[in-house]
Structure 1
Amino acid sequence: MKMASFSSYYGSLFLLSLFSSFITIALGGTFNTDFDNLFGEERVDIKDDGNSMTLTMDEYSGSGIVSKNEYLYGRFDMKIKLVPGNSAGTVTAYYLSSIGSQHDEIDIEFLGNLTGDPYLLSTNVYADGIGGREVQFYLWFDPTEDYHTYSIDWNPDRIIILVDNIPIRVMLNRQSIGVPFPTKRPMRVYTTLWNGDSWATRWGEVKLDLSNAPFVAGFKNFNANACIAKQGTSCKGFNGGKNKGLDIESKRKLQKILSKWVVYDYCADLRRYAHDGLPYECRKENLLQFE
């Protein structure tokens, strides 16, 4: 038994060493060490040794940060406390994106609203420059009162969006039927606060009220368990066997979210697709249950 345990231990170390020689893994992260200022200059305020941050938008500018590293697969967690009060017109975004005309992107965007009206959490995915796959939710809590954890869990087979570790959306890889899916372009992590009043609140009907400025959102405890994409490394197998699907309890929670809190689903928008019909993956014969 002792010899078996010894062999098993060192065998595991060898496999880990071999695996690590081909990929670079990011574990944890801080706003100081893992991000650069994207825009807004002093409106990005990093605190607590890089563990927390506020983004501010005023009459002159919004603000944002972008990760130093590009990633190809992984799980990304961020605690966020949204702009309180009259936040109409503001967009607080936490997302992954590559660059270029055929970019990939995985979006979590919070669309502000008038005082007393709920935020919209909007999700979307782009692949090969093709997006338009919005699903939007109301939240079952007030996201301005406290911090909550929002997560993107991405591997070659699926993307899961989670709130406080509860799955709210699963997007499966449907490349087999011609639906683009982000599998080959490394993406950076972006966190931004900006003026989206041309569309964000009631399709642009309600505008940003600058008398309420400055608008401030809080962020803390960023965590990445992800593969850093670098020349000469491979992320192909990273995260492939972790949370590939959902356990029974997670499926139950997801079904509850989908039945109670969905505000908009592109696959149910018959007006939007009245002329050409629903997108291919939304048609009855092509619908898949989440794994």
Structure 2
Amino acid sequence: MNLFMSFLLLFLLYTDKLAALNFNTDVTVTWGQGHVVKSRNGEEMELKMDQYSGASAQTNAEFLFGRFDMHVKLNSPDSRGTITTFYLQSPNRDLGWDEADFEFIGGSSIADYKIHTNLITNGIGNREQQFRFPFDPTTNYHTYSFFWTPQQILWYVDGIPIRVYRKLNDSRILYPDKQPMKVYTSLWNNTDWIGEVNWKNAPFSAHYRSFYVNACVAWRDGSNVNSYCKLAPPFWFYIKLLPWERDMIIRMREQYMTYDYCTDKEKVTNVTSIECANNP
């Protein structure tokens, strides 16, 4: 059996174990209560934004490692100045928070829309990579995924890996494996970063559905963090970057990447150059 077929069998086995989360029972609105609409069965959620407020929601549970899939449909143009998000974040920022981001930046045309990714470890970020969309993200739902293990974090778009960040055997290279994270969604604007919003097109909407996870639920016992992974690690706990994934990441970078912190002279340091050299 070749490597691809072996991975396909593992992928099918893994995705078969994905569990659907319900937006009514498993997710709580954190701000913009009047700007969130959930379907009666809890399978869909809409976040809205106008001149008065955007909106945000988070999972009730915390997780330490796992796969997280969200189906998202973005604002229709012209939605410049808007930011739709799907991300993981440790809820206690006082501890020096960890975070992995998908931020979808709106534009005045589909060609201007961007997939913005970032990683924050112990409160240290500036690891942005940005991509053009290989499709129109406003007409249909598309699947965005994190696959977070003790060895690496992978970002996927419709099952295609676009980015990896790997844990290295170097104490200077921080990796998010100490703190559990919740899953967050939001719709907001940041004029300092991406420009003014055309409020004539408000209200804006971001649509979420088919929220699936296969992850280790975590909990805190004082200063200690426990998770079900410690009790019985699942097989994916040990999966590392596969050759075909690395090749696909390089291809996606070549075709769609518009910004990479690894080539930004203002952000490259000795430590940054090491982590960039080990992440395609």
Shorter-chain TM-score category?
0.7 to 0.9
Unmatched tracts of structure 2, length 5 or more: 1-16
* Percent identity between the two aligned chains: 37
- Distance change >3 Å, CA 150–CA 239, structure 1 → 2: farther
- Distance change >3 Å, CA 212–CA 123, structure 1 → 2: same
- Distance in structure 1 (CA, Å) of the matches to 2:121 and 2:220: 22
Q: Read off the aligned partner of 2:197 and give its amino acid letter.
A: L
**SS in structure 2 at match of 1:257:** helix
- Distance change >3 Å, CA 248–CA 181, structure 1 → 2: closer
Larger Rg: 1
Deviations 1:29-63 (A, max 9, x none): 11111111111112110115011111000111001
Q: Read off the aligned partner of 2:63 and give its amino acid letter.
A: Y
Matched, 1:115 2:70: no
1:223 is matched with which residue: 212, 220, 223? 212
Aligned residue number for residue 54 of structure 1? 46
- Distance in structure 2 (CA, Å) of the matches to 1:198 and 1:239: 43
**SS in structure 2 at match of 1:42:** helix
Matches within 5 A, 1:47-196: 47-98=39-90, 99-101=92-94, 102-174=96-168, 176-196=170-190
Aligned residue number for residue 259 of structure 1? 254
Unmatched tracts of structure 1, length 5 or more: 1-24
Aligned residue number for residue 31 of structure 1? 23
1:214 is matched with which residue: 191, 198, 203? 203
- Distance in structure 1 (CA, Å) of the matches to 2:160 and 2:63: 23
Q: TM-score, length-normalised on structure 1?
A: 0.82
Q: Read off the aligned partner of 2:93 and give its amino acid letter.
A: G
Q: Read off the aligned partner of 2:253 and give its amino acid letter.
A: L
Moved over 6 A (4+): none
Q: CA deviation at 1:208?
A: 0.6
Matched, 1:288 2:244: no
CA contact 1:156–1:240 (8 Å) conserved in 2: no
CA contact 2:110–2:136 (8 Å) conserved in 1: no
CA contact 1:64–1:193 (8 Å) conserved in 2: yes
Aligned residue number for residue 44 of structure 1? 36
- Distance in structure 2 (CA, Å) of the matches to 1:146 and 1:246: 29
